[in-house]
């Protein structure tokens, strides 16, 4: 099943190298299935903040998530690629925007792998905006590497430093948030944090925030 969806999603893109990357990413990264499991029963529209080329919305649609979806990314080229790939789908839109700006209200929100590219102050701004804009009784799902004392964090940081040294990754800054910094922005929400390591050595975690009355802790 996963292999079929990986092939379908790869076929949305024109560039051969991107198709190969998408196929590999869908098959190897546990984030997409983890997000699907968390958001699939929610009726509100979904916002993918820092959507890249739009893989998550397409993955969710291919798995039967029918709500309207909006992807926002800072990178014009990625938004163009995502829009082109979205021609097959209805109700999946992409716009260029800055995650640090105001967010559309009333969505469930997914934030995958973008926080480390921002300063701690901007991370807090983004997280606070996400908490403010999420739909009432909605859900926020965040995947991020975490800064802590683990060997996983040391490997994550070393691989990033290498990526920047060879200019594979052009991020101006790389500051991973701590668990507490992420959770602190979601006052009044119930939080569930789980490791999302898959087969990787990286220090990735999944944060799920809900604020429906039924989900609040006793």
Ligand X SMILES: C[S@@+](CC[C@H](N)C(=O)[O-])C[C@H]1O[C@@H](n2cnc3c(N)ncnc32)[C@H](O)[C@@H]1O
Using rule CB under 6 A, residue 75 touches ligand X: yes
Which part of the chain contacts ligand X (CB under 6 A), choosing from 45-53, 86-94, 158-166, 200-208?
Answer: 45-53
Q: For residues 126 and 135, which CB has a smaller minimum distance to ligand X in the complex?
A: 126
Contact with ligand X (CB under 6 A): which of 45, 50, 57, 145? 50
Q: For residues 40 and 137, which CB has a smaller minimum distance to ligand X in the complex?
A: 40
Cα–Cα distances in Å, from 33 out to 17, 43, 188, 196? Answer: 23, 18, 27, 11
Site for ligand X in 93-152 (CB under 6 A): 98-100, 112-114, 117
Give the shortest CB-216-to-ligand X separation in angstroms: 28
Give the shortest CB-99-to-ligand X separation in angstroms: 4
Both structure tokens of 132: 């403010």
Cα–Cα distances in Å, from 59 out to 8, 56, 132? Answer: 9, 5, 26
Using rule CB under 6 A, residue 82 touches ligand X: no
Both structure tokens of 129: 């905006």
3-state secondary structure of 182: helix
Q: Is 198 left (phi over 0), alpha (psi -120 to 50) or beta?
A: left
Q: For residues 112 and 135, which CB has a smaller minimum distance to ligand X in the complex?
A: 112
Euclidean distance between CA atoms 179 and 206, whole angstroms: 10
Give the shortest CB-187-to-ligand X separation in angstroms: 24
At residue 123, φ and ψ (nearest 5 deg) are -60, -45
**Contacts to ligand X by CB under 6 A:** 50-52, 55, 73-75, 78, 98-100, 112-114, 117
């Amino acid at each position: 099943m996963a292999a079929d969806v990986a092939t379908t999603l790869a076929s949305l893109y024109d560039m051969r190298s991107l198709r190969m990357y998408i196929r590999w990413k869908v098959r190897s990264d546990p984030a997409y299935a983890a997000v699907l499991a968390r958001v699939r029963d929610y009726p509100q529209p979904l916002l993918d903040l820092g959507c890249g080329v739009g893989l998550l919305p397409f993955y969710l649609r291919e798995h039967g998530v029918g709500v309207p979806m909006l992807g926002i990314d800072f990178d014009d080229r990625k938004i163009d690629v995502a829009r082109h790939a979205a021609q097959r789908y209805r109700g999946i839109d992409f716009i260029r925007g800055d995650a640090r700006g105001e967010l559309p209200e009333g969505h469930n929100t997914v934030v995958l792998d973008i926080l480390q590219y921002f300063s701690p102050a901007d991370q807090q701004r983004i997280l606070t905006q996400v908490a403010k804009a999420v739909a009432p009784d909605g859900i926020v799902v965040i995947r991020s590497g975490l800064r802590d004392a683990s060997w996983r964090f040391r490997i994550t940081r070393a691989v990033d430093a290498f990526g920047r040294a060879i200019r594979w990754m052009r991020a101006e800054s790389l500051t991973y948030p701590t668990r507490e910094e992420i959770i602190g922005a979601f006052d009044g929400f119930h939080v569930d944090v789980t490791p999302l390591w898959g087969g990787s050595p990286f220090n990735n975690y999944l944060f799920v925030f809900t604020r429906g009355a039924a989900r609040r802790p006793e």
